[in-house]
Structure 1
Amino acid sequence: MHCFCEQKETYELKIEGDVGADFVWCNQCGCNLDLEVFPISNELKSELMKWGTQYGEWIDWDIDKLIFNGIAMEEEHNKQGAKLSEKVKNELKKKYKIKFFPSSMARSYANKKY
């Protein structure tokens, strides 16, 4: 995968949810990588897209607050992300080193002072 690292290519990737970005990143330089060219099956790409578009549903963005049951929603999202990361590892057959980075946004919002 092409990235901004000195060697212009990485084999160390992370799967991490984000708002408005694809969910695969270089784990060294932080470059966001295009899911469309990621060498996994279309089925797994679809699963990742569905998972990724649910990122942050535990926040009411209009009032910038955690919704009811938001921490549990985020925990479930993280469980699904970990499972998908394992599927990515299995499809790539050790060509890439894959790490999953769970979200901790809900806890930040739960501790936020208004």
Structure 2
Amino acid sequence: MTDVLCFCEQKENQELKVEGDVGADPIWCNQCGCNFDLEDIPISNKLKSELMEWANKYGEWIDWGQDQLIPNGIEIEEEHNKQGAKLTEKVNKELRGKYRIRFSSSTMARMYANKYH
């Protein structure tokens, strides 16, 4: 299996992060911020599916039309972060020894809550 390539100086990445974002696959370079195509990550199809299902729920705590937090938005985001942390553990297990993996939790709901108070 070849290394995952990104925009970093060394081109071969050793540090990845799991992070949700609108319209993006949930695996990123922890150094340069490059977003990887999930198909290029050497993990099981089952885990890829779980990660995409989780990623597709990113931002459900925001009413995008009104540009505001929905009721219980902070709690919904916290649950999303808990699920993301669990998935990160699974990614870490499957890639053990090949990459260092960390989870980057979302703080968007708190940002929106503070924006309007």
Q: For the superposition of Structure 1 and Structure 2, which TM-score range results when normalised by the shorter chain?
A: over 0.9
- Structure 2 counterpart of 1:15: 18
Segments of 4+ moved more than 4 angstroms: none
- Structure 2 counterpart of 1:105: 108
TM-score, scaled to structure 2: 0.95
- Structure 2 counterpart of 1:37: 40
- Structure 1 counterpart of 2:92: 89
Separation in 1 of the partners of 2:109 and 2:21?
13
Over the aligned positions, Cα root-mean-square deviation in angstroms equals: 0.9
Q: Aligned partner of 1:12: which letter?
A: E
Please identify, of 4-13 and 70-79, the stretch whose mean Cα deviation from structure 2 is larger.
4-13
Is 1:27 aligned to 2:30, yes or no? yes
| Gaps in structure 2 of 5+ consecutive residues | none
Q: Following TM superposition, by how much is the alpha carbon of 1:20 offset from its aligned partner in structure 2, in angstroms? A: 1.0
Separation in 1 of the partners of 2:62 and 2:19?
17
Q: Following TM superposition, by how much is the alpha carbon of 1:113 offset from its aligned partner in structure 2, in angstroms? A: 2.9
| Percent identity between the two aligned chains | 70
Can you list the C-alpha shifts for 1:53-90, whole angstroms capped at 9, x where unaligned? Answer: 00000000001000000000000000000000000000
Q: Secondary structure at the match of 2:76?
A: helix
Q: Secondary structure at the match of 2:115?
A: coil
